Amino acid sequence: MNARALRHRIPVSVRHHWKLIVGSIGLVAVLVAAVGTIRVSAVVTSDANEGFVITNDVQGTVDLFDTSVAHEISLAYDEDDYRQMIETFQDSGEKAWVKADITVDGVTITDVGIRLKGNSTLAGLGGDVTAGGMEMPEGMGMPEGMEMPEGMGMPGGGERGMGGMGGSLSFDEPESLPWLVDFSKFIDGQVYQGNQQITLRVDSGMGGSTLTEAVSLELVEASGEPSYDWTYSKVSVNGSEAVTRRVVDVMDVTWADEEYGASEGVLYKGRAGGQFAYQGQDPGEYEDDFKLVTMEGSADVQPIIDFLEWLDSADDATFDAELAEWVDVASFANYTALQNLIANSDDMAGPGSNYYLWYDYDTGLISVITWDLDLSLTNAELAPGESGSIMGGGGGMGGMPEGMEMPEGMELPEGMELPGDGERPEGMGGMSSGASDFKQRFLESDAFGSVYMEAYNDLYERLYASGAAAEAVDTAAAAAERNGAADIAAAAESLKTTIQQRTEFLEAELADGSAAR
């Protein structure tokens, strides 16, 4: 374990008050010297919470994430609490918690917490869209005569809308809203089958299907990268008609404990709209950028601050020579190759800041973890920075979306220019977080070209050449159909066509040496 990693294992309360502690030890030493016959007992206290303590693990009767069986989930809550939640969201954009009972496959868990989940997805419900990191530049609006491409919505008010990047959402249909369920929100230590939290997901509305994320998650697992569980279920709310929903695990304390051993490092979540940039040594400056998921009370964002400070000052030679002292390079090569292979247009470099970071105590290295994949596998021939997608393969804007043209007579707001490939306009929240710059700097460095291409070739063989991607479609489609999803055969056929075209595109890239970097 290196010295930097050892320093970060010292509890926050000790690191932040070391002068007081040293002074106290000095005082004790003086007292002992003065009255050596007196026995002094040191009392050490700590507010450290080394991890989430499970006190009640509801086992249920069926494995929630068993995709080979049908599932049923129902939520029940007080309608007055729900109306108050709506008012809070529409007034401020805050996603307030509602106490509810949830029944999963016939087993009821009482007093769980539920709240809305997502950012741009929720914009059409009337909340403050700036809270989600999707802020339109000042003075920019939809000009007369301009229409958005089919399926894509702009943030706006009203109780029913396009849901930003999502499909049609309405507070009148809570069974179709994106929900985060926290089994321990109101009862400390309560979990369901070892899971602290799960999400009920909606489609992105950006060209994918209800199968896309499930298929992509199968490929993440096959890649060897940290992944998370998924399934499908019929979901009803307060006695409503049941609808088919995608149920996805959350990278929380219980996930980290299972994946890594929660006490062996710290898990952080990149916040939507947050920055990936050095802002000084004050941890308070990073509260809007990173969420501490594990080790609350005994860890902080200092490892990330230290890395960002180094990154900010590192010239190209230093970046190439020292990056391996800060980042697990092999893991990051695998991560970046995977995002490109599955054409994930909203990874750490995308507008949603969709990534987690794991800081390992033993190695002192940071790893980037894949999260939120409903904007992957939507373009067969996507390479980083190319047009044809809002962000391109590497998270850049990549030009105007397909089907969208600048109408005659339209003028951009003063000082604003249309972005070129890979560029993002100022004021677009998470789109200019700095994570894209870091990822692109890594990809453009010759020092890491060989480790990246080794990962790229290996993942291509495992995910595409082996037929695993096509098999993943069959797995996801069967699970969705088993849980009542409509038009799955057509969606599966379309996704298989995309995967076949992507396989041919990637094979041609590798053959002529132009594989995406």
Residue 429 scores a pLDDT above 90? no
Asked which of 25-29, 186-190, 192-196, 391-395 is least confident by mean pLDDT, the reply is 391-395
Element (H, E) at 183: none
pLDDT confidence tier of residue 512, bands split at 50, 70 and 90: confident
Q: Three-class SS of residue 409?
A: coil
* More reliable by pLDDT, 131 or 361: 361
Residues 6+ apart with CB under 8 A from 260: 267, 358, 360
Q: What is the mean pLDDT of the chain?
A: 79
Q: Which of 167, 246, 174 is CA-nearest to residue 205? A: 167
For residue 169, what is the DSSP state?
E
What pLDDT, on a 0 to 100 scale, did the predictor assign at position 271?
Answer: 93
Work out the pLDDT band at 406, boundaries 50, 70, 90: very low
Compare 391 and 264 and report the one with higher pLDDT.
264
Average pLDDT of the residues in 384-413: 40
- Mean pLDDT over residues 258-270, rounded? 88
Averaged pLDDT, 134-138: 39
Q: How many CB atoms lie within 10 A of CB 485?
A: 21
With tokens 């997608």, the residue in question is: 389
Which segment of 76-80, 91-95, 159-163, 415-419 scores lowest on mean pLDDT?
159-163
CA–CA distances in Å: residue 183 to residues 108, 187, 190, 211:
11, 7, 6, 26
Q: Tell me the mean pLDDT in the region 486-504.
A: 94
pLDDT confidence bin for 261, thresholds 50/70/90 = confident
Summarize the confidence of residues 281-290 as an average pLDDT: 96
Give the per-residue pLDDT at 65: 98
Work out the pLDDT band at 378, boundaries 50, 70, 90: confident
Residue 395 has pLDDT above 90, yes or no: no
Distance CA 483, CA 69 (A): 8
pTM: 0.78
Q: Taking the alpha carbons of 300, 303, 306, 307 in that order, is the dihedral positive or negative?
A: negative
What average pLDDT score do residues 157-178 get? Answer: 64
Q: Please compute the mean of the pLDDT values over residues 329-352 and round it to a whole number.
A: 93
Are the CB atoms for 220 and 227 separated by under 8 Å? yes
* Mean local confidence (pLDDT), 131-151: 41
Query: For 181-231, how does the pLDDT look when each residue is reduced to its tens digit (9 = 90+)?
Result: 999 999 999 999 999 999 999 986 655 678 999 999 999 999 999 999 999
Residue 37 pLDDT greater than 70, yes or no: no
In whole angstroms, how far apart are CA 184 and each of 85, 99, 190, 238, 494? 19, 11, 5, 21, 40
* Predicted confidence (pLDDT) per residue in 298-314, tens digit: 889 999 999 999 999 99
Three-point CA angle 456, 457, 461, nearest 5°: 115
Rounded CA-CA distance 207/20 in Å is: 57
What pLDDT is stored for residue 353 in this prediction? 85
The H or E element spanning position 244 is strand 243-249
Q: What is the pLDDT of residue 94?
A: 94
289 has pLDDT over 50: yes
The helix/strand/coil state of 358 is: strand
Query: Of the candidates 71, 96, 88, 162, which has an alpha carbon nearest to the alpha carbon of residue 127?
Result: 88
Q: Is the pLDDT of residue 77 over 80?
A: yes
How is 190-236 classified by DSSP, letter by letter? EEETTBSEEEEE---SSS--TTHHHHHHHHHHHHTS----EEEEEEE
> What is the average per-residue pLDDT within 338-353?
90
Please give the full DSSP string across 301-366, using - where no structure is assigned: SHHHHHHHHHHHH--HHHHHHHGGGTB-HHHHHHHHHHHHHTT-TTSTTSTT--EEEEEETTT--E
pLDDT for 166: 41
Return the percentage of the chain with pLDDT > 90, whole number: 62
- For residue 33, the model assigns a pLDDT of 45
The stretch 223-244 carries a mean pLDDT of 96
Give mean pLDDT, residues 24-38.
Answer: 41
Residue 454 confidence (pLDDT): 97
Q: What is the DSSP letter of 282?
A: -
- Average pLDDT value for residue range 471-485: 97
Task: Write out 249-267 in H/E/C secondary structure.
Answer: ECCCHHHHHHHCCHHHEEE
Q: Is 155 helix (H, G, I), strand (E, B) or coil?
A: coil
Give me the percent of the chain exceeding a pLDDT of 70.
70
The phi and psi torsions of 312 (rounded to 5 degrees) equal -65, -35
In 333-446 the beta strands, taken as DSSP E runs, fall at 355-360, 366-370
Q: What is the signed CA dihedral for 347, 353, 355, 356, rounded to 10 degrees?
A: 170
Nearest to 70 by CA among 194, 245, 290, 256: 245
SS3 assignment, position 471 = helix
Cα distance between residue 16 and residue 271, in whole Å: 24
